[in-house]
A = this chain, B = another copy of it.
Amino acid sequence: MVKYKKAERQRLLQLYIERDPFLTDEALAKSLNVSIQTIRLDRQVLKIPELRARIKAVAKEVDEIKSIMLEDIVGDILNVKLNESGTSVFTVEETHVFNNKTITRGHFLFAQANSLCVAMINVPLALTKSANIEFKKPVHLGDRVVAHAKVVQTIGKIATIKVESFVEDSLVFVGDFEMYFKNEGEVE
């Protein structure tokens, strides 16, 4: 039942809402031991939006994240000549780097290359059979990674694709991918 001073109360308010954006003014008023009006004044000066707006913002964020996660593709694919060549651009964001570091986790570079290979094969479903990859240089937060892929050969149901990824002019990743053409309804 402590009464905080204005500054401390506003600091706590901010903290509480950051920790749990689902708190109503009423709940906040009770836990900070002031009236609802005070909470509203505080929110106003701190420019914290109301509960519904906060929830909406969180939900919008989730939507974006989900749509990114549900994509088959990592990176934006450009200039695909089916069964020939293709290019993909991928910009490294916070979610792609190691915690509190700036170096990109390798599997995103692999995923970009792999996605590009899948997209270049003109069949309903192409699966990666094998890959031989090399990480040439660390890639950092904010880097724009451009992957170039070329089909080297196609024998029967297997295509061999060479991928080279660059940040600016420096080679960061190379990979040889063997892609397998899977027919619809095929038994595995």
Of the candidates B22, B52, B114, B135, the one whose C-beta lies within 8 Å of that of A127 is B135
Give Cα A99–Cα B70 distance, bound, in whole angstroms: 8
Residues of B within 8 A of A111 (CB): 105, 107, 110-111
A118 to B61, CA, bound (A): 29
Set of chain B residues within 8 Å of A115, measured between Cβ atoms: 105, 107
Q: How many copies does the complex hold?
A: 2
Cβ of A132 under 8 Å from chain B: yes
Q: Contact mask A123-139 → B, CB, 8 Å, 1/0?
A: 00101111111110110
Contact indicator B128/A135 (Cβ below 8 Å):
yes
How far apart are A181's CB and chain B's nearest CB, in angstroms? 13
Interface of chain A residues 90 through 118 with chain B (CB within 8 A): 94-95, 98-99, 101, 103, 105-107, 110-111, 114-115, 118
Chain A count of residues within 8 A CB distance of the other chain: 44
Whether A103 lies near B125 (C-beta < 8 A) is yes
A94 vs B62: C-alpha distance when bound (angstroms)? 16
Task: Collect the chain B residues with CB atoms within 8 Å of residue A127's CB.
Answer: 103, 106, 135, 138
Nearest chain B CB to A54's CB is how many angstroms away?
9
CB distance from A178 to the nearest CB of B (A): 9
Contact between chains at A72 and B105 (CB < 8 Å): yes
Mask of A152-188 contacts with B, CB within 8 angstroms, 1/0: 0000000000000000000000000000001000001
